[in-house]
Amino acid sequence: MKLWYNIGEVITVKKFLTTLLSILIIISYVGALLMHLYTSWLCNLAFGTFWAVIAFLTPPISDLIMCGVVIQQNGIFNPFIIEWVVVILLYTVPMLVLEHGGAKQIVHKVTFCRRCGSQLDDDRKCTGCGKQYFNNFKSFRKGIKSKFNVLSILCIVIICILTATISVQNSQIVNGKEKIALLENNIEKSDTRIKKMNKEKSHSDAEIARLINQLSDLNKKSKFFDAFVGITTESGTKFHKYDCNLINSNGSIDYNGGINFASIKFLYSLGFEPCKRCYTDEEIALYDELFKDLNLYN
């Protein structure tokens, strides 16, 4: 009687734990479905009906992408991500308990020998008569289920890692786009400044060309003035050029100091001679040849 009483008590505990964990797993399935519908609804709001249908038909991919987008926009601590974490925990924790927790140990405790009724140890060997039991097809099927659950947990972990990676990459892409937009804005401003500088350069080039032409005209006038006009003083007997230091010692000529201007031909006729500081020997020889006969005082 005691044996059957213990068997009934252990089986009751096993059924209670299994039922409780199964309910939690079912809740996680329902939560995952609701979250997936919420993801599709968000896609409908953001991208339209077509992408909402695509998101609904691709549950893992669309949920993963939406998690990355939400993390990039609102950070990792936001209601959408927290709800997904709760759903994952509601699935993962019961699976771990079922496969590696108390329920499995209770099942081992209620395994008894069919021959003598004694309890089996962890190696499925009877502690009473020593009969060895081997894994049957049911145990083999449980092993496959256990491996499947482990793979499911690994897939969930990988999805979480991929979600974090995609969110980081998405954040980097957004930052890169912002930097590109800033660079494009700077380039546009630089182009505007370059166009303005080119316009100013065109005006400056036109002004430089005008000044060069004016300088050329002034240079021609200066050469003509030096070649055909002389400057005399009241007490002097020689005529000079404008830049002679005898009359232009301070950088300018004092027009009130008895300075006179006349053509060299006329000055020759009045008896003036060229200044040897102003004129070269070749110029003096040329003037003598042209105007010597006009000297009224010779």
Q: pLDDT by residue (tens digit) across 75-86?
A: 777 788 888 888
> CB count, 10 Å around CB of 84?
23
Q: Quick one: the chain helix, strand, coil %, rounded to 5?
A: 70, 5, 20
Residues contacting residue 235 through CB under 8 Å, at least 6 positions apart: 258
32-40 contact pairs (CB < 8 A, 24+): 32/87, 32/91, 35/63, 35/83, 35/84, 35/87, 36/62, 36/63, 38/80, 39/63, 39/66
Helix residue ranges, H only, 110-248: 137-228
Q: Give the containing element (helix H, strand E) for 297.
A: none
Q: Which pLDDT belongs to residue 28?
A: 86
Average model confidence (pLDDT) across the chain: 76
In tens, the pLDDT along 113-137 reads 777 877 777 777 888 888 776 655 4
SS3 274: strand
Q: Which pLDDT belongs to residue 5?
A: 38
Q: Which pLDDT belongs to residue 160?
A: 62
In tens, the pLDDT along 48-77 reads 888 888 888 887 788 878 877 777 777 777
Dig out the tokens for 188 from the structure.
């546009």
In tens, the pLDDT along 179-225 reads 898 999 999 999 999 999 999 998 999 999 999 999 988 888 888 88
Higher pLDDT, 12 or 263: 263
Q: Do 265 and 230 touch, CB atoms closer than 8 A? A: no
Q: Which of 9-18, 41-50, 117-126 has the lowest mean pLDDT?
A: 9-18
End-to-end CA, the chain:
170
